Amino acid sequence: MASTGIMMSFLMAMVVLAAVEAANKTPTICNVRVSELGECLPAITGNKPSWPTKGCCKVMHKVKLPCLCKYKDKFLQYGISPKNAMAVPKKCGLKLPAQCRG
C-alpha cells in the first residue's frame, strides 16, 4: 500500500504542474483534470503498484500521451516511479509514443 506521504507528494506535484499548464479555471494536465489523475495513484505508487482500475484507464484514454511524457523526468522528484507511471498507459491498452520509451 502506498504511503500517504507519497500520495500527497504526487497530488501536490500534479497541482503544481496544473498551475503551470492551466489556461482556464479547471486545472488540467495533458487534456485531463488533475482530480481525474488521482484515479491512477494506486497504479503508480509503491513498490508493487496495483493494476490500473477501469476508472484509471478511462482517464488514460483521454490523456495526450506525448504531453504526459514531458513530465516523465519530474515524477521522481515527487516520489513517483517513472517506470510505474509510464507502464500505466500500456496496461490500459495504449501505445506510448517513441519519445516516452526508455
Query: Any idea what the CATH number is for the domain that residue 21 is in?
Result: 1.10.110.10
CA distance 37 to 14: 8
- Assess whether pLDDT exceeds 90 at residue 100: no
Q: What is the pLDDT of residue 88?
A: 94
Q: What is the pLDDT of residue 57?
A: 97
Q: What is the pTM of this model?
A: 0.71
Domain, as residue range, for 53: 4-100
For residues 76-97, average pLDDT: 88
Collect all residues with Cβ–Cβ distance below 8 Å to 4 and sequence separation of at least 6. Answer: none
Q: How many domains does the chain have?
A: 1
State how far the alpha carbon of 66 is from the alpha carbons of 33, 89, 92, 96, in Å: 16, 12, 16, 8
For residues 75-84, average pLDDT: 82
Q: What is the pLDDT of residues 21-76, one digit of tens each?
A: 555 567 888 899 888 888 998 998 888 899 999 999 999 999 999 998 888 888 88
